[in-house]
Amino acid sequence: MNFAPLPSVAAAAVPADGFVLDVRENDEWAAGHVEGALHIPMSDFVARFGELTEAAEDGQRVHVMCRVGGRSAQVTQYLVQQGLDAVNVDGGMLAWDGAGRPMVTDNGSPAFVL
């Protein structure tokens, strides 16, 4: 079988107003995340898929994020198979943090990548 390469983008290239889907677990999200991102842990993803289709505007590119890019690659592949414009964020939150991109927490404490 021949698989198309998975679409991906560098963390530094995600638009400031881009739609980000974070598929990390709750403790990772709580430590620090992209402001405005939609959080659906990979373990809940198929059951909560409808939340993504409601949140993303028609045709809007979905930037899928995890800690380093493994889980998000799997979710990106699934989304592409569903016909969505999805890209994996190379290097995940570690690359996002490394690129100096902003992160937030829900409780106002300093954000970090768990």
Tell me which of 21, 42, 56, 66 is the catalytic residue: 66
pLDDT value of position 58? 79
DSSP 3-state assignment of 12?
Answer: helix
Residues pairing with 88 in the sheet: 8, 64
**How is residue 5 written in tokens?**
């390469």
Tell me whether residue 66 is one of the annotated catalytic residues: yes
Question: Position of tokens 């106002």?
Answer: 108
**How far apart (Å, rounded) are the C-alpha atoms in residues 54 and 80?**
17
Query: Each residue of 18-46: pLDDT tens digit?
Result: 999 999 999 999 999 999 999 999 999 99
Integer angstrom CA distances of residue 65 from 9, 50, 52: 11, 18, 14
Query: Each residue of 50-92: pLDDT tens digit?
Result: 999 888 887 899 999 999 999 999 999 999 999 999 999 999 9
**How far apart (Å, rounded) are the C-alpha atoms in residues 90 and 69?**
6
